[in-house]
Structures are given as structure tokens and as C-alpha cells.
Structure 1
């Protein structure tokens, strides 16, 4: 055992002089093959010169090369002993030490590459690819985004990979705990984009590089076109700073286009899982489109399904919630009996909805 430790220390000093970026995997395979050849040669010598059974010969060679040395078997002829000295003591033990050292190097090398986002995943299953990160408070934003992805039934279980140059020394601990994969680089680099497994991505989220700069849309458009060249089936959600570019993004392959909303990353997940809902929600923020209106009207003991049906039929909008002493009751059960002081409905610009109109609808 002392001999093994001594050899390992020598090999550690030797490895420190080499460049670590060489093909460690190939060296490990070559060393393993060479080690197996030495064990087989020694076992063959034991069979030929000492008349050992094949199993015993292989057992003796294995215990010798690993320096275990149980002592239950040993070579008896001078020829077998000579082969054992050369193959096992001089060569195989050294090769095994090299193999262990190279394997440790390989594991450290791979772990460091993955941590810094430089590892190229050869086989990436269906996954969610996030491209770019917000300029400010990126960690908090990504944590909330990934957590929402992981609890959404349509998206849960899919690996999440982030392409960004924001974390060259590795993702923050809060993201690694969520098992987020990391790729360091920019999507405008064709080589980087080609090596992140986009061809097998099921969902792609393209965040605006700068949520306040319309110039970010040019970068988003370039990335969108590159993605569609390699993956025609992925569902892509792209942020557009300028409303004028929304139609253009859709024309070139985006399934969902939305304004950057940094305060609510959960919205991206909802839109990703249910494309089309972004148009409904964004219209609510424009007063010349559909909007939410609070209608002050007290009512008692009316089924929610009747409130909705009568309001829609009477042109009083589409009720989404009502307010009572406990607060806002959103999307109640249709069969629930409701009493409240106001109704929140989605109405259009053309509808003039007030308490009188709602009263007429509900008293029918």
C-alpha cells in the first residue's frame, strides 16, 4: 500500500506539468486496455508455466495488480515469477496508478467545465432552453422562473438549461439547487448556439437582452431565426420591447410574443404552457382594448354560474371575480352561492357597464 501511495504522489507531480485540456477520456481508455492486456498476459503465463486454472490465474493477477496480496496463491516456477515481476510489479501497478490519477483528473475536469458552463452535453433530451438573463436582479428572476416551471404540470420534469454570459464562474447556489444546467456564452455566437442541444429543445424562452431598449429586438430576431433553422417543432416564447416587432417575430417562428415583464416571471410560464393567453392578458393593460372593471353593486344569494351567464347575455361583460367581506373571490365554483358588494368583470371599450346595467342583468 505504501508503494501505491508513493507512486500516486509521483504521478500527481507529473500530471501538474501537463495541460489539462487534452483528451483525458482517450487516455483513460488506452490505459484501461493496456492494463487488461498486462493482466491477461500474466494470467496466461501462470496457466502455461505453473499449470493454474484460468480462474485462479486471473484471480492471482487481479490481487497482485491491486496490491491486495491475499497470499492464497502465488507463482511457483521461475518463468511465471519473472513474468509477474515485469508485467505486474513494474508495469501493471504503475498503469493502474496512472489510470486512477487520470480518472480523478477527468472527474475534476468535467465538474469544472459543468460549473463554468463550458460543458457540451452530447445527449440533451427534451428540455427547456432559456436564452439571455435580465440585466438586473437576474438570480432572483431566474429562481422564480425555474420554480414556476417545475410546479407547472405541462412543464414539470423537463430539464432547464440557461445560456448566458452573466455567470462565467458558475451559477449561483440558489440555481444549482434547482438542478439548472448552465451554458456560458451568447446566443449570437453560432458555434455556441449549435452546441447547446437546440435541436432537441421542446420549449425555448428568448429574454430581451435589455428590457428597456428596442435595440434588443434585433438580437432577439437574429436568435429566433437561428433557432428555427435547427428546430421547427419547439414552442418559442420571445420578448419584444417594441410592439411594432410582435407581428414580425410571429411571422418568423415565435409561438408567443410578449412584452418584457421583469416583476412577474411567472407570466412567461403561463404563456409557455398555454400559448394565446398572452394576447388576452396584455389587452387588459391597454385601456383602448379589453380591460378589467370593478362594478359596485350589492347582491345576495346568487349562484356564480347565473351571475356569469346573465352578465354576458345582458352585455355587462364577463365576470371574473366578486368582492365580499373576506376580500376578492377569483373564479369561484360555478355552483357556489355568492353574496357581495362588487363584481370585477372583463369588458370591452365599447361596453358602458355600470351598476344599473348589472342590476338589470342579475334581476332577470
Structure 2
């Protein structure tokens, strides 16, 4: 165990060392470009002054002559005629200026290429505001999961243009094309690294999602707990909504006590759960219960329903404290979800949201339906009278 931990630490140290060297090379090119610009500006000013001193031309013509000669355009409308002017042009522009300009162009191209490469590899510091920050990516099929997640976020009108950024080591060679096509960005790093976390500016984020790296490993909650604790030192809870995944249900309350607004199970086959937690906080709790048998859950009752109005059926079950009707199966077996209130239900079963500690028996549901039918018949008779 100790050997494995030591190996992991050595890998992290090597990776951070490589990142440091890459940053130094990048900033070295940037500083060299700035120095060359200053040298080139100095040469241009010196040549302009020399033209004013040696040649019988004005300031604008001197500047024009310097620029056309330096860029090797050479229109021929002006040229150095005196010995001093020609010597100054040869020394300042031919020997120094054109050489510096060529080196500057080469370094600038390298700078742009390295800048683009750093963006692709997630080594660029993006200026983010009111963004959606996703920390970690799933260990298994992470790219596919993130693609579905981002696509569903973009399909929500209110989040169609919201900036999305990932903080993860899951894409060392850059984000997949499908993610970049939806405008997602990423920073290569880990949330347990204070420097990496600061670079994604969690204090400016509107929503933060902390994904469990391995939803099969209950020890993943330790990393989630550490990440959430670090986040709370950066963010304003009244401004930023934090959603975290919890593998072990026993850790749910601990994460809530730490400051997480929403704590959900990692259901990898259904990224919509995360999207609902972002778009409509609280809805994810109801949806999550649909996947489990704990707390509130959906139950199917194979009972005939003949002609009851959907609104009366729903109200009757709620008044009897038996649950909330969600859908019914029609005579062909098709499930009809949330029909209009005036729908006359003709079916073979009901799907009801019930409480696990008070799950009604089919007999109680059948008795309630019979009572609803009697009340509807009495109401219809009274209305006809």
C-alpha cells in the first residue's frame, strides 16, 4: 500500500515538474518576443532620427522610409541619398532591423503555436465569469459521459450559452472534438492541488459539479470531501450552487454539513440527473428516488381502471394518503405519463409514487379507486338533478 502511494506521489511530482518546465519555456518565448519588440522599436526610432539628420525630408517621410525599408517593401519613392544616410540604413536596418524582424516573426509564430497547444492540452488560464465548473471526470467512459452531459446542458435554453469548464486530468491530449464543438473548455489539473483549483476561478463560477472519479469505489468520497472543503474556502454559497456526487450514502449528511447544496448518487447511465440538479435544484432528489427502493419510490399496481377522470384519481389517492399517481398503463400496455387532468382513464394498471415505510397494498389501492368511482357517480347524479 505504501509503495503504491509512493508511486502515485512520484508520478504527480514528475507531472508537475514537466508542467513547470513547459510554463517556463512558454513564458521565455513571451518575454523574448517583448524584448525583440523593444529592440525593433529602438532601431526604427534611431533610423528615423538618422534620416531627419542626414536627409532633407520631413518627419512623416522619414518614418515612411524607415518602415518601407525595414519591411523590405521598398516602394522607391524615398531613399537615402547621403553617405551618412546610407551608412545608417545599412547598419541599423539591413544589419540589425531586418534580422530582428525575422526573429520576431519566427518567435511570434512559435508563441502563437504554443499558446494554441496550451489551450488544447488544458494548460491555459481562461478568464471565466458565471461559468459552470465540472471537477473530475468518470474513470470509465469519461469522454462519452461528459459529451452527453454537456449536450444536455446545452439543450436547456437557460444554459445554451453558459461557459463550461472542466478541471480534470482525464484529457491529457485535449478535450474530445465533441466537447469542444459545444464550447466546453478545460484545465488539466486536480482539485486537491491548490494552484490548479485557483486557476479555474471557482469564486467566479455560478455552478460547480464535483463528480466521483470512480463510482464503484467508496473511497472516492474522501477525495470529494477534500475537494468540497477546498471549494468552500473560495466560494460564496449564496452565489454559487455546489453539486457533489456521493458513492456511500452514509457520507451524504457529512457533505451537506460541509456546504454542498445538492448531494446525489453517481448514476452514470443518466447524466440528466446532474443537469436537473443544475437547472432545477431539488428535482434531482425526486428523480434519484425513482432509481432506488429507499424513501419515496415508484410502484406499479396492476389494477383495472375504467373511466375515472385523471384529476379525480390523483386527488383521491393523495387524500387517502396512499401516494401520488404518476402514470397509467392503457389497454394496449402503453405507459401514459402525466396525462391531462380531464383524461378518462381506461387502463390495466397505475404507477404510483409511494413511501417505503407506508407502501399501500393492491387491496387498499383497489378500495380507494372504488371509492373514487362512487364519489364521481354521486357527483354526476347530483349535477343532473
**Alignment match of 1:168 (pick from 169, 172, 176):** 172
In the alignment, which residue of structure 2 is the partner of 1:354?
A: 365
In the alignment, which residue of structure 1 is the partner of 2:61?
A: 56
The structure with the greater share of residues assigned to helix is: 2
In the alignment, which residue of structure 2 is the partner of 1:228?
A: 232
- The 1:247/1:240 distance shift into structure 2, 3 A limit, reads same
Q: Superposition RMSD on alpha carbons, in Å?
A: 2.3
Aligned residue pairs, count: 343
**Which deviates more, 340-349 or 134-143?**
340-349
Query: What's the CA shift string for 1:177-199, capped at 9, x where partnerless?
Result: 33322222322222222222222
1:148 matches 2:155: no
**Alignment match of 1:260 (pick from 263, 266, 270):** 266
**Which deviates more, 176-185 or 223-232?**
176-185
- The 1:291/1:45 distance shift into structure 2, 3 A limit, reads same
Contact 1:321 1:329 in 2 (8 A): yes
Alignment of 1:204-223 (within 5 A): 204-223=208-227
* SS of match in other structure, 2:81: coil
**Alignment match of 2:339 (pick from 310, 332, 355):** 332
Gaps of 5+ in 1: 1-18
**Alignment match of 2:351 (pick from 344, 351, 354):** 344
TM-score normalised by length of structure 2: 0.81
In the alignment, which residue of structure 2 is the partner of 1:9?
A: none
State the shift of 1:326 in Å.
8.4
Gaps of 5+ in 2: 1-23, 376-385
Contact 1:20 1:109 in 2 (8 A): no
- The 1:49/1:212 distance shift into structure 2, 3 A limit, reads same
**Alignment match of 2:128 (pick from 105, 124, 145):** 124
In the alignment, which residue of structure 2 is the partner of 1:11?
A: none
Contact 2:273 2:287 in 1 (8 A): no
- The 1:105/1:239 distance shift into structure 2, 3 A limit, reads same
Contact 1:297 1:358 in 2 (8 A): no
In the alignment, which residue of structure 2 is the partner of 1:313?
A: 319
1:185 and 1:60 map into 2 onto residues whose CA distance is 51
